[in-house]
Structure 1
Amino acid sequence: MGEANLLLDALLDEAGMSYAGLASRLNRGRNTRYDHASVRRWIRDSAIPRGEGPLLICRVLGTALGRPITLADIGMDRVRPGDLSDAPLHTAIEQVAALWRGDHKRTETVERTRMLAGNAAVAPVFAWENPPDDIDVSHRGPLAVGAGDIARVRAARDRYEQMYRRVGGVPVRPRIVAYLNTHVGPLVRGGYDDRTGRELLRATGGLVALAGISAYDADQQAPAQRYLLYALRMAKASGHPGFGGYCLALLANQAMYRGEFRRVLQYAQTALRGARGHLSPALAVDLYTLQAKAYARIGDARSSHQHMTAAERIEVRAENEPPETGYVQPGLLETQQADVLRRLGDLTAAQAYAEEAVRTSTRTHLRGRAHRLATLAQVLGERGDAEAAVAKGHQMLDCAEGMESGRIQDRFAGLSRALTAFDSQDVRDFRERAALLAQHDQ
């Protein structure tokens, strides 16, 4: 089976046409027997009808929508599904709009999205770093887009990010994709000049990236990857290399979670190279730390220490940072370093870093505090101090209570595993509470 055809599904929805309705129109005056199942197969499996079928689909939808429809518009130009590396900007915008529309409506097409692997996962990154650039991103459309529209998209991103930090990606993701579908879709298809278009794509890319973060946190890894790659495409068109570096850092974080450690190095190195001179200090710290973690996972302690040192040498000043890097808050670097040192087996140093991270965590949000406490608790558990680990673990659960987040649940599970060697009542009570909170969040 092929990958679902989001573009055709979205156009049918826009035209208000059912699967059976399209099939009926295609059959009129012709010796064909298309039916509901035929159209469902074209969408579900990205199948392409034989002969003049694709051109007829373009003609029928074009008549219904009152504008020319091409084979690329219906996803039947025979370009390999999921290839985001060579898509013209207009096509990429329609593709991501089809993705967030399907996500908003929870269609089967989005559920069938698969992770890109191999060259398909790397080519879009190569395309971001290398020519050709988008010379003119202006667009003709029915809605005139201005600075106020762009400001509202930016404000929405900030609002949803704060919500994400409080309650996690599971409840926030549907809100983001609904906003993208209802409010942002008409803007990116509207009318704007080149300058306004670049700022619109920058703002939209920030919200699309946050949709990817929320999908990742909700354990919807394939849609998350697509959102992040589309955000990267928008970063290129916007002319903001630093934002592209941010998108690559998010992709590297997802690759780390999936255990693709060499991919982490590839993404992070590309970001540092491709956005040189445009990266904020906080983002550079995050990228070097990601590399340190990846090197630790593949057993290269020397390279891991080198990248930890590189991260520590960078001074971060919050007032000079863009909105997206607000996650690099006090204690994050120490938390990441503690995790690296724990992986390398240096538990004494790991505890020192983790304790410093917790000490400064009063200045961060609850989600960040929960991660810092989880790291310290895990180090304490691995050092054999079950009593202290449980105490910090309960503080972590206090911070995380009410959050619906796959990554927070991972921290519950990780600490519970670290305490399996201990059979005290305190440990059993903690593991029971963690399990109950995890069940509540599902």
Structure 2
Amino acid sequence: MSEPNILLDSLLVEAGISHAGLAARINATTATARRSTRYDHTAVARWIRDGGIPRGDVPEIICEIIGTRIGRVLSLSDIGMVKRGTGLGEVDLPQAVDQAVALWRGDLGSRGFLAGATMIDGPAAIAPVFEWENPPHEMDVSRRGPRTVSMEDVHTLKAARGRYEQMYRRVGGVPVRPRIVAFLNAHVTPLLKGGHDDRTGRDLFRAAGGLVALAGICAYDSDRQALSQRYLFHALRMAKASGNLAFGGYVVALLANQAMPQAKYRYVIQYAETALRGAGGYLTPALATDLHTLQAKAYARIGDRASCHAHMSRAESSAARIRQNDEPSETGYVQPGLLECQHAEALRRLGDLVAAQEYAEEALRSVDACHLRGQAHRLATLALVLAERGDADQAAATAEMMLERVEGMESERVAERVATVTAALRPFSTLTVREFLARAGQQARVPL
């Protein structure tokens, strides 16, 4: 399936031209040149939906029509009608910014934006990560624009990201995503189109990239995987422009996290290895810990016990060096107990249930120090281990505590976690299990 042409869609919105209006203008232009076309609104919709490119010089005509309306000269790449792979890589920074703006403008304008799109796969899924790691890098990101970006603007973006992240942790990504998308459109777009010197520009891309990455996290949590992946690719492009290797490694870690539930374990391993290599000595201990636990879990899923244990050991070494005060805000999710919880999950997949239970119980000793999502994840992990060991009543009691934490949270990922625990307990018929199943079923009937 081809990529939707979000650049053309966004420009039509900016120009105030409907699909039928564009088709009529094209037909009028070609009729004057005595080579009549008969395009209608469905043809324009198809170009946008399927990334199609009309024949002949029609793309140039589209550039002229829209460019005249919005007051600037447009190229074929500006309207998304240059034949390329995903349209996300091998582009210069100004066009990358245009593509990012088009993404969240489309997301704001349509509840079902990219709903029919599939996740980018194969070499195209690796290309943005390869491009982040390798030259050429921007030597200068300064820009002329209608307004001057200040460091106060940058600090506003950082504060907004912190606020939205706290909301996400409390209530889930479903209700938070529209708020972030609205903020990107109203506040981030004017800054990215504004003027700044090189130093301020790099700080701007770092701050904006943090918000774009969080939009990707919320899309992931809303089970909008194709949309999430595209947000994360744009966040990675901004990370490259910022020159902040640690932030780039964080975004690659998010891509690895997304690949895990998609059962793309080789991607998880490759993404994590690239982040560890590409960010080098700039990677913080917390992020290195997360990347090694991700690899451990991926190796466990493919049955490579030795590699799993090796990365568990490396994760523990990295975790011993974590100093929370020295970590960036994005790695705040690497809280006490996360490593033990991830190790428990990996060992459970390997069938080492005794060791898995020990790690899962250790993770719960610090459960009150982490946010609600983390608490629910730790409780779910222990419940699954207990269920597989046949301790149904204790598993159900643990799962009840999980339900208490997630009540009122709007998150497809959390809902999936609850469903997994429910499925693990359904074969048992004790009173405690039946009570849990009844409560879980009642919560599941409330739509997100």
Pick the TM interval, shorter chain.
over 0.9
Displacement of 1:29: 4.8
The letter for the 2-side match of 1:4 is P
Could you say which residue in structure 2 is the equivalent of 1:134?
A: 138
CA distance in 2, matches of 1:171, 1:311: 33
Could you say which residue in structure 2 is the equivalent of 1:145?
A: 149
Could you say which residue in structure 2 is the equivalent of 1:18?
A: 18
Could you say which residue in structure 2 is the equivalent of 1:385?
A: 391
Could you say which residue in structure 2 is the equivalent of 1:201?
A: 205
> Are 1:366 and 2:372 counterparts?
yes
The letter for the 2-side match of 1:424 is T
> Are 1:342 and 2:348 counterparts?
yes
Q: Is the 8 A contact 1:6 1:110 kept in 2?
A: no
Describe the SS at the equivalent of 1:384: coil
CA distance in 2, matches of 1:347, 1:252: 25
CA distance in 2, matches of 1:40, 1:345: 51
> Are 1:323 and 2:361 counterparts?
no
Could you say which residue in structure 2 is the equivalent of 1:230?
A: 234
Pairing partner for 1:266 from 266, 270, 275: 270
> Are 1:171 and 2:179 counterparts?
no
Could you say which residue in structure 2 is the equivalent of 1:100?
A: 104
Could you say which residue in structure 2 is the equivalent of 1:186?
A: 190
Deviation per CA, 1:368-408, whole angstroms, max 9, x where unpaired?
11111111111111111111111111110000000011111
Q: Is the 8 A contact 1:43 1:109 kept in 2?
A: no
Displacement of 1:37: 2.0
Deviation per CA, 1:152-195, whole angstroms, max 9, x where unpaired?
11111111100000011111111111111111111111111111
User: For the structure 1 residues 27 and 138, does the alpha-carbon distance in structure 2 shift closer, same or farther, using more than 3 Å as the test?
Assistant: same
Could you say which residue in structure 2 is the equivalent of 1:50?
A: 55
Mean Cα displacement is larger for which, 277-286 or 33-42? 33-42
CA distance in 2, matches of 1:365, 1:198: 31
Could you say which residue in structure 1 is the equivalent of 2:34?
A: none
Could you say which residue in structure 2 is the equivalent of 1:78?
A: 83
CA distance in 1, matches of 2:447, 2:20: 39
CA distance in 2, matches of 1:432, 1:373: 18
CA distance in 1, matches of 2:142, 2:309: 46
CA distance in 1, matches of 2:251, 2:48: 29
Pairing partner for 1:220 from 218, 224, 227: 224
Q: Is the 8 A contact 1:27 1:34 kept in 2?
A: yes
TM-score, structure 1 length as denominator? 0.97
Mean Cα displacement is larger for which, 82-91 or 178-187? 82-91
Displacement of 1:109: 5.0
Displacement of 1:60: 1.0
Displacement of 1:217: 0.7
Describe the SS at the equivalent of 1:85: coil
Q: Is the 8 A contact 2:114 2:226 kept in 1?
A: no
User: For the structure 1 residues 60 and 108, does the alpha-carbon distance in structure 2 shift closer, same or farther, using more than 3 Å as the test?
Assistant: farther
Deviation per CA, 1:278-330, whole angstroms, max 9, x where unpaired?
11110000000001101111111111111101111122111110000000011
Equivalent pairs, count: 441
> Are 1:355 and 2:361 counterparts?
yes
Q: Is the 8 A contact 1:370 1:400 kept in 2?
A: yes
Displacement of 1:257: 1.0
CA distance in 2, matches of 1:74, 1:169: 31
Deviation per CA, 1:111-134, whole angstroms, max 9, x where unpaired?
233211100001111111111101
CA distance in 1, matches of 2:409, 2:192: 32
Unaligned runs of 5+ in 1: none
> Are 1:288 and 2:297 counterparts?
no
Pairing partner for 1:65 from 65, 70, 78: 70
Q: Is the 8 A contact 1:4 1:112 kept in 2?
A: no
Mean Cα displacement is larger for which, 133-142 or 258-267? 133-142
Q: Is the 8 A contact 2:149 2:194 kept in 1?
A: yes
Q: Is the 8 A contact 1:54 1:76 kept in 2?
A: yes
Could you say which residue in structure 2 is the equivalent of 1:88?
A: 92
User: For the structure 1 residues 115 and 170, does the alpha-carbon distance in structure 2 shift closer, same or farther, using more than 3 Å as the test?
Assistant: same
CA distance in 1, matches of 2:249, 2:444: 33
> Are 1:400 and 2:406 counterparts?
yes
Displacement of 1:411: 1.5
Mean Cα displacement is larger for which, 112-121 or 278-287? 112-121
Q: Is the 8 A contact 2:63 2:75 kept in 1?
A: yes
CA distance in 2, matches of 1:341, 1:324: 27
Could you say which residue in structure 1 is the equivalent of 2:445?
A: 439
CA distance in 2, matches of 1:371, 1:415: 11
Could you say which residue in structure 2 is the equivalent of 1:8?
A: 8
Q: Is the 8 A contact 2:23 2:39 kept in 1?
A: yes
